[in-house]
Structure 1
Amino acid sequence: MFEDMTTVPFQLLDLQGQGTHILVEVEVYNRTFRMVVDTGASKTVFDKTQLDHLLADQLLLEPSETLSTGLGTNSMESFNMEIPSLAIGEWKIKKLKTAVLDLSSINYAYQQMDLEPVIGVLGGDIFSNYGAVIDYAKKTLKLRNRKIKMT
């Protein structure tokens, strides 16, 4: 069943009694960052502040007509962007269309716990399209190497 899948390790982060986050290392623009795995997020999003700070010279943001909801607000300015490639371990996707939002509330919480900021949140668009399997006992994320054909 898992022969056409790539397995990548993740870190299970204890949020000081406030639950846990799954963190994975990703590579975008030939640099390594951390992202939160969020199965409840409908889309993968990147943090505008982190992108501006780390990759300002490589950003091509398009304003979005859609106001995003979630993360403690019901209206937040959003942008669209195409990431040339996103790698999680040996797994790779090219031309990922993604949203860019203000995720400062997440990074502020991380800062309060003396944790490094994250560049974004991996969402359901990747997990459903690539048949993700999360194994908490082994601390691994498995992703199919090709998109699943949705019926």
Structure 2
Amino acid sequence: MTKITVPLQMIDLHGDGFHPLLDIMLFNQPFKVVLDTGASRTAFDRELLLAANENAVITASEHLSTGLGTNSMESATALIQNLWIGSLLIPEIEVAVLDLSTINIAYSQLGHPEVLGVVGSDILVKHKAVIDFGKKVLVLK
């Protein structure tokens, strides 16, 4: 089984911890995402997803998303084709689609880059992820 090593960028939340970011490719465009082991699913911001691909098909979900400081966030899903994390190609994945604008507003105020969303445990478990904070890398299989 091939190991793929992806660099992590650690951002300092100025006294409120750290977030690991990684680069992905989607729609032949680079994006930053948060590596979030506490997220059960990978989730992308609705506005940024549509800005990246106006033809993205977003389907309303019956479920309310929990986390992100609320348990009543409306969610939807999108079927994403050809998501690249380093040299790992995920040909198709269903992601949650949420309003993550508050995260990007907070990041902007702290001088951090905008993120498309979060890579969650759905991808991390499937690809047997190992996070090495010392080396600042994510290893996937």
Task: Please give the TM-score of this superposition, normalised by the length of structure 2.
Answer: 0.95
| Cα-to-partner distance string for 1:53-78 (whole Å, 9 max, x where unaligned) | x2252211011111111111111111
* Structure that is richer in strand per residue: 2
Structure 2: distance between partners of 1:110 and 1:29: 24
Q: 2:71 aligns with which of 68, 71, 74?
A: 74
Matched, 1:13 2:6: no
Instruction: Tell me if structure 2 keeps the 8 A contact 1:79–1:100.
Output: yes
Aligned-residue CA RMSD (Å): 1.1
CA contact (8 A) 2:41 2:119 kept: yes
Residue identity opposite 1:62 in structure 2: T
Larger Rg: 1
The superposition leaves residues 69-98 of structure 1 with CA deviations (integer Å, 9 ceiling, x where unpaired) of: 111111111111111011111111111111
Write out aligned runs for 1:131-146 (5 A): 131-144=128-141
Q: In 2, distance between residues paired with 1:56 and 1:73? A: 28
> In the aligned structure 2, how far is the partner of 1:103 from the partner of 1:70?
12
Instruction: Note the residue ranges of structure 1 that are not aligned, 5 or more in a row.
Output: 145-151
**% identical equivalent positions:** 47
1:25 to 23, 26, 31: 23
Q: Which ranges of 4 or more aligned residues in structure 1 deviate by more than 6 Å?
A: none
State how 1:51-70 maps to structure 2 within 5 Å. 51-52=49-50, 54-70=51-67
Aligned-partner Cα distance in 2 for 1:84–1:56: 12
Distance 2:69 2:47 in 1: 17
Give the partner amino acid of 2:36.
D
1:41 to 39, 42, 47: 39
Q: Is the 8 A contact 1:71 1:105 kept in 2?
A: no
Matched residue pairs, number? Answer: 141
What amino acid is aligned across from residue 87 of structure 1 in structure 2?
W
Matched, 1:98 2:95: yes
Letter in 2 for 1:60: V
TM-score by length of 1: 0.89
- For 1:84, the equivalent position in structure 2 comes to 81
Q: Which whole-Å CA distance do the structure 1 matches of 2:9 and 2:138 have between them?
A: 10
* Partner residue in 2 for 1:149: none
